[in-house]
Amino acid sequence: LLQLWHGSGTPYASERPKKKGKNNEIHTLGDLEGGKPGWRTETSSLCNHTFWPSDGGFHYNNIAHRSQKLITYLNPTIPTQPMPLTVVLHGPAGVGKTTVAKKLMLDWTQDGLAQAVHSAFYLSCKDLSHRGTCTFAELIAAAQPGAREAVPQLPARAQEILLVVDGFEELRVPSGALVRDLCGDWKQPKPVAVLLGSLLRRKMLPRATLVITTRPGALRELRLLAEQPLFVEIEGFLEPDKKAYFLEHFGEERQALRAFALMKGNAALFRLGSAPAVCRIVCTCLKAQMEGGEDPASTCQTTTSLFLRFLCSQFAPAPGACPHPRLQAALRAACLLAAEGAWTQTSVFDGDDLGRLGLTPSALCPFLDKQILQKNGDCGGCYSFVHLSVQQLLAAMVYVLETEEEEAAAGGEAGGCTWDIGDVQKLLSKEERRKNPDLTRVGSFLFGLLNEERARELETTFGCRVSGAVRRELLKCRSESDGNGPFSSMMDTKEMLHCLHESQEEQLVKDAMAHVPEIAVHLTSAFEMVEASFCLKHCQDLRKISLQVGKRIFLENDADAEVDRSQHDQHSLQVWADLCSVFSSNENLLFLDVRDSVLSRSSVRILCEQVTHATCHLQKVVIKNISPADAYRDFCLAFIGKKTLTHLVLEGNVHSDKMLLLLLCEILKHARCNLQYLRLGSCSDTTQRWADFSSALKINQSLKCLDLTASEFLDEGVKLLCATLRHPKCSLQKLSLEDCQLTEACCKELSSALIVNQRLTHLCLAKNNLGDHGVKLLCEGLSYPECQLQTLVLRHCSINRHGCKYISKLLQGDCSLTSLDVGFNPITTGLYFLCEALKKPNCKLKCLGLWGCSITPFSCQDLASALLSNQSLETLDLGQNILGQSGVTALLEALKQKHGPLKTLRLKADESTKIQRMAEAVREGNPQLTVEWNHTGTRRSLCCDFLS
């Protein structure tokens, strides 16, 4: 029930630190052990906060039992130093934050807890929002009228006082009011915001103990306000509690377990079930259906169907009867109140709220009678809905019900009453939902209410018709989205899939998904897979799909799984197969990207079967960081003879699969192979396997680009690869051997291959310890006129001054190189030689990468001189070099003096106004030149997108 985050070191009251400790210290429920046995848990009026009295004992006893351990932190009998303690109880609506707070108040004031007389005061933030200027003494007296005479003595014994500030998210004060004009005077009149801010900042009653309850949305503000708070997450019902609740409610075990399984099958609904009120709603609905002989499965399919069924079941008309007109008016009133609350982030309403909307309690009588809307005991004359989800459902109805006041309900004015309700586009806008997360759930319910069956249920119960205008507006929003998917300007992919699934309206999903060109799906639960499958099967023009599958969706390989794996996987694999059918149903699907995924052998086989289907025309496939390790092998088997496949990337756990190279050989040697790009990362195998792979490269005539980054060849493997490069039928044009542990000895083999091979144009040898001598050997091969190499990447190759001399000599000769990247090499003193080469008229270099080469301001004079003479250089990357103001000035002055061929110059970011003005002047004088200012962390080379 309780998960703790303590912001001030050791949590125990007896060990409270005298100064601030380390932040972000995590405490589990086990840290709270030490509560006294035999504490009383009987209910009292102080804790009577449950909605259904019949379930009050179950709810209260459950929470009270666990909250006993929290009192250890607040026990006033344990000696402490003066440092006070602030506890923030946070969690979603209805999970028991107020119940825990009141239980703490009860324990605080128990006779046997301490010798001294302890006082506890309850402050409702909803009440505080409406109070005017007063003193703190008056505020406390109003909170507990019976203690009015004792109030003057309270400041002297502040350490014996517990103050509960309940519902912080309901506080409505001007922005910044809680931190302005702080006051420590008990008797000085101040606005309530000042008094509360002074209490939180410990200016008022600095030695008192505070307990604050809030929903997660207000946590950020509280972290900034509260002094060294202890954050306690109230989780409400955990899975065993929910199961026990169902068993108690149903009585009949088979029905209870069936209902519990249905709720658990809907991840969103199961999360909401942490609130006892939601468990009650689910049990009420499903039990009634089971007793009526109905199958309740469809009711738990979406949260909309569940909550709407609950709502309608409370007002179901008699057979053959029509809904009473008074009920229809009450529904409209309740919807208006709910929507106003959703937009103003209010869940507790008082008389002023009702008056502003032109409503009276009598207008809401049907909902009060059925306890859908309840009187709030914590705030006199206040009302709240049975659960926030019910309020959000009613708020969504404002947008779908046909009314004469539709214009007003979209945010206007009628009958002199005003309210703050945005239209559909505003409801779904990212900006509004970022400010008010509750609108996200309202939007989800909005989609759910577009279902024709739900609409009929609503019309039958309340006599209200559902408008088709919202559906048309949503489809208009879909077509106007500025991204690759429908509604992409309003919501991310996961939310879009959830909302469309919530509708259960296939035609709407077809209209939304028909023209989606690409989609990225990140699955973290089996239910998210259900949502994705429901939507993706309606795609008709999908061209790219990216998949990321989280842990414990497939449990076949999970030895630690404590559930029935076979039953779990049977359902998951059925849904997965439905999702994977998108590969055979979309003939235009060309790109598959699966990465960072935990699959199972069965799920991999299902995916591969779809990939090999005759109607699947995949061209590009990326498989990266997936498990199990032998999944790569299954993918390779699927790609043998796949003539449409042109690009294949295999990265991650490939080093442990000794069959992978053999299967790649089969792919390359197959007569139907049309593979042009192959990236095989971190591969490690025997010399014989590399020999087989090299032979396959000689046979294959389609492969143009090969990336073997981080693979282990050993010297013999490099010899085999170089022999392949020398073969007259070798078709490779681009080769990357980055981070392959190459040495100087390998450079001799590569050099001889470069002399013979006339097709290779791109070579990457980055992150290999080649040294100056290795560079010398390479330059010997590159200097031959037969060598056609155009791009050479030598990043992180331990090149020094002498290496630069060899490169300079090469560039001044008859060399085909046009792009050179020597970034991350200590070439400070060797830069002079490169600059000399740039000055020569026969130098063909167009792109030079010098990122992070420790270039000094002094060296910039040589670079500036080279830029004045050079006739070919178009891109110069000097990022992450501290050139200083003098160095940058020298470069910009040279560019200002002569408008050469340079188009792109990257420099380390410089905030100097003089430098920025000079750069702007250079750009104005030479419009074709772009000056980039890199920041730390930017590592993309400007020289070439090597294997594009």
Is residue 86 predicted with pLDDT exceeding 50?
yes
Looking at residue 469, its pLDDT comes to: 87
Give the pLDDT score at 638. Answer: 95
The answer to whether 768 and 777 are in contact (CB under 8 A) is no
Give per-residue pLDDT as tens, 407-428: 444 444 433 445 678 888 899 8
**The residue type at 185:** D
Structural tokens at position 917: 């003005």
Q: How far apart are CA 27 and CA 802, in angstroms?
A: 58
Candidate from 122-131, 277-286, 544-553 with smallest mean pLDDT: 122-131
The residues, any chain, with a CB within 8 Å of residue 683's CB and separated by 6 or more, are: 654, 655, 660, 661, 708, 711, 712
Segment 644-657 mean pLDDT: 87
Given a cut of 80, whether residue 937 has pLDDT beyond it is no
Distance of CA 791 to the CA centre of its chain: 39
Taking 50 as the threshold, does the pLDDT of residue 440 lie above it? Answer: yes
- According to the model, what pLDDT value does residue 467 have? 87
What is the pLDDT, as a whole number, of residue 287? 95
Percentage of residues in the chain having pLDDT higher than 90: 57
Q: Taking a C-beta distance cutoff of 8 angstroms, is the pair 68, 1 a contact? A: no
- pLDDT given at position 244: 93
Give the span between the Cα atoms of 401 and 467, in whole angstroms: 6
Asked if residue 849 has pLDDT above 90, the reply is yes
Helix, strand or coil for residue 485?
Answer: coil
The residue-averaged pLDDT of 668-683 equals: 94
Q: What is residue 421's predicted lDDT score, i.e. its pLDDT?
A: 86
Peptide bond into 628 cis (omega under 30): yes
- pLDDT-derived band at 943, boundaries 50, 70, 90: low
Q: Three-state SS for 500? A: helix
Cβ atoms of 880 and 854 within 8 Å: the answer is: no
- 637: three-class secondary structure by DSSP: helix
Amino acid at 311: L
| Mean predicted confidence (pLDDT) in 107-119 | 64
pLDDT band at 103 (very low <50, low <70, confident <90, very high): confident
**Rounded distance between C-alpha atoms, residue 834 and residue 806, angstroms:** 9
Lowest mean pLDDT, pick from 132-141, 222-231, 732-741, 931-940: 931-940
Q: Examine the pLDDT at 281 and tell me if it is beyond 50.
A: yes
- Provide mean pLDDT across the span 382-410: 81
Distance CA 281, CA 279 (A): 5
pLDDT in tens, 585-628: 898 999 999 999 999 999 999 999 999 998 999 999 999 999 99
- Model confidence at 683: pLDDT above 50: yes
Q: What is the pLDDT of residue 535?
A: 95
Over residues 725-754, the mean pLDDT reads 93
Least confident of 56-70, 384-398, 812-826: 56-70
Is the predicted pLDDT of residue 53 greater than 50, yes or no? no
Read off the pTM: 0.83
Q: In the prediction, which pLDDT does 144 show?
A: 76
* 67 pLDDT higher than 70: no
CB proximity list for 66: less than 8 A, separation 6 or greater: 1, 2, 29
Report pLDDT for 13: 30
pLDDT of residue 798: 95
Looking at 109-238, list the stretches that DSSP marks H as alpha helix, in order from N- to C-terminal side.
Answer: 125-130, 136-143, 192-200, 219-225
pLDDT in tens, 131-146: 889 999 888 888 877 6
| Mean pLDDT of the residues in the chain | 84
Task: Find the mean pLDDT for residues 355-384.
Answer: 88
Q: What are phi and psi of 420, to 5 degrees?
A: -115, 85
Give the least confident one: 33-42, 184-193, 488-497.
33-42
Examine the pLDDT at 32 and tell me if it is beyond 60: no
Average pLDDT over residues 877-890: 94
pLDDT band at 485 (very low <50, low <70, confident <90, very high): low
- Angle at the Cα of 604 from the Cα atoms of 598 and 609, rounded to 5 degrees: 160
pLDDT band at 245 (very low <50, low <70, confident <90, very high): very high
For residue 29, pLDDT beyond 70: no
Phi and psi at 840, nearest 5°, equal -75, 140
**Residue partners of 143: CB distance under 8 A and separation at least 6:** 121, 122, 123
- pLDDT of 686: 83
pLDDT-based confidence at 687, cuts 50/70/90? confident
Q: CB within 8 A of 607, min separation 6: which ones?
A: 576, 580, 583, 594, 599
Q: Pick the residue with more confidence: 397 or 14? A: 397
Mean pLDDT of the region 762-766:
96
- State residue 662's pLDDT score: 92
Residue 442 is predicted with a pLDDT of 96
Distance of CA 912 to the CA centre of its chain: 37
